[in-house]
Amino acid sequence: MSTPPSEPRGLRISDADRQRAAGRLQVAMAEGRITLAELDERLAIVYGARYEAELLPPLADLPALVRPAPPVPVAPAGPATVLRAGISGIKRTGEWSVPARLRVQSVMGTVLLDFSRAENPHPVVEIELEIAAGSAKLLLPDDATANVDGLVATLGEIKSRVPSQPRPGGTHFVVRGRCGLGSVVVRRRFHFAGHHF
Identify the CA nearest to 39 among candidates 49, 27, 50, 51. 27
Per-residue model confidence (pLDDT) at position 43: 94
Beta strands 191-192 and 195-196, pairing class: antiparallel
Beta strands 157-160 and 172-179, pairing class: unpaired
Per-residue model confidence (pLDDT) at position 1: 45
- 40 & 111 share domain: no
How many structural domains comprise the chain? 2
Low-confidence ranges of the chain (pLDDT < 70): 1-9, 65-73, 75, 191-197
- 49 & 99 share domain: no
Does any domain span residue 137? yes
Per-residue model confidence (pLDDT) at position 108: 87
Does any domain span residue 154? yes
Per-residue model confidence (pLDDT) at position 7: 52
Per-residue model confidence (pLDDT) at position 70: 59
Does any domain span residue 66? no
Domain that holds residue 167: 81-196
Does any domain span residue 169? yes
Q: Alpha-carbon torsion 150, 116, 105, 88, what sign?
A: negative
- Does an H or E element contain 56, and which? helix 52-59
- 104 & 188 share domain: yes
pTM: 0.62
Helix axes 52-59, 36-48, angle to 10 degrees: 170
- 102 & 140 share domain: yes
